[in-house]
Every structure is written in structure tokens, then in C-alpha cells.
Amino acid sequence: MARRIEWTHLVTHLAKLTFSLLVLLAWPHPVVGLVAAVSFFLAGFALTHDLAHGALGLPRTLNELALSLAAQTNLVSGHTMRRLHARHHARPLVPDDVEGAGATMSVWQALRIGPRNALRYRLEGLKGARGAERAWVIGETLLSVGVVLVVLVTAHVAALTWVVTCLALQATMALWASHLPHRPPALLVSLARHLEWTHSAVIASFLHHGAHHARPWVPCGALAGRDERGRPLGLPSAASA
């Protein structure tokens, strides 16, 4: 039986992406442009993550295409992300868990290995994929490289800001996407609890990482107010847990 499409979460993802992109393109101030580029990256990352889990209920063919396109907002291969994220869920924090590597070390170690881990991420995706999936990975990787080359040639300020932001966030992903969600400091957890009402997927990654592992088919934006097994709680209880 086909799942229903999670229209609320899908539209929310697309609205965040669109708003961030419009601000990035329209606002000339460099600081605002940088914030918009980070916002655009994170919105695309959250969308790609939900698509990787099939959490938005899209038909399979459409989900494959959407996964591929959404990941280009981060200049990565969506099918590589899905493969390595599935490995992380199946065997978290083991030696071949590229995605979880940052969670097994200190903050400074995670920051230091970030660039090398980002390269390893791409190589593992190419090495592990077969058949149609391999074709997706190669095509997505070539598309990302092509987009970067076009941006460098045209030297469009907003596009350059986005590319630099993507490369910087990729190089530090072992810290912010691996170490912090698995080992969040108390101050970050406290801040996230005050922002839980936004149902942000980024906020949910700090507060409800266990719930996500328990029920990966639930859109991350719907994790607010859930316990570590993914069972719904009232928001006041979740905030005080």
C-alpha cells in the first residue's frame, strides 16, 4: 500500500529553500548573503535527508529524482548520501561508518578530519554503488563539478557565496552533522529546546536523534515532542525531559 505524501513537510522544505534562495539572490549585503547561503544549504540538507529515508511519501521514481536534485543544493550526490546514511543507521559508529566518524572523537579531532572525511565520503559512495545507483552517483558527482566550474567562470557573487559555503560546510560536516548531534553540549541542547516549537529538522537533530534512529520514516520536522523511541509526547514534557 502506497504511503500518503507528507504535503505539509514537503511544502515546508520547499518554502525554506525558496525563501533562502531569494534572499541570497536579492540581498547585496555580504553578511546577509552568507547567512542566506548557510540557510539554503541546511534547508537542502534537511530535504535531502527526508528524501533519503523516503519520509515524504513520494512515489519511488519521483523520490529518486527529487533526491538527486535536492542534494545539488549541497553540491553532493544524493544517492551517495542515502547509501552512507543507511549504513550509519544499520551500524552506527563502527569503523566503516563514514558519516558517524566525527561522533567517535573530540570536537577538535572531528574538525581536523573534516576535509579528509568529506573526500572519503565521495569515494565510498563511488566504490559501494552498483548498477543504476552507480550511474546516479556518477551523474550527480559530475553535475556538482560542472556547477562549480560554471560558477567560477561566471563569478556571480551570490553563486560564489553559495559554492564557498557548500565547500566549507562539507569540510566541517564531521563536526556539525556527526559529532554535535550524537554528543550535543548542554548549552546547545538548552537552546534547541527553546526553539523546538519551530519543528526545524536541524533543531530536531540535536533533541531527538534517538527518536530519528528509532523511526527514520518519520519526517525530521515531525520529531518535536517525541521520546527516544519515537513515541509522541506533549511539547511541555519534551521540553522538560
Q: What is the number of other CB atoms lying within 10 angstroms of the CB of residue 233?
A: 15
d(CA 208, CA 214): 10
Give, in order, the Cα–Cα distances in Å from 49 to each of 44, 82, 113, 216, 234.
Answer: 8, 8, 22, 10, 25
Q: Which amino acid is at 163?
A: V
d(CA 100, CA 38): 22
Answer yes or no: is pLDDT of 202 > 80.
no
d(CA 131, CA 179): 32
Answer yes or no: is pLDDT of 238 > 70.
no
Domains of the chain: which residue ranges?
7-183, 185-241
Mean pLDDT for the chain?
Answer: 90
Which value, to the nearest 10 degrees, does the dihedral of the CA atoms of residues 178, 114, 76, 165 take? 100
Query: What are 152-178's pLDDT values in tens digits?
Result: 999 999 999 999 999 999 999 999 999
* Segment (H or E) for 55: none
Least confident of 54-63, 101-110, 139-148, 186-195: 186-195
Query: What are 35-66's pLDDT values in tens digits?
Result: 999 999 999 999 999 999 999 999 999 999 99
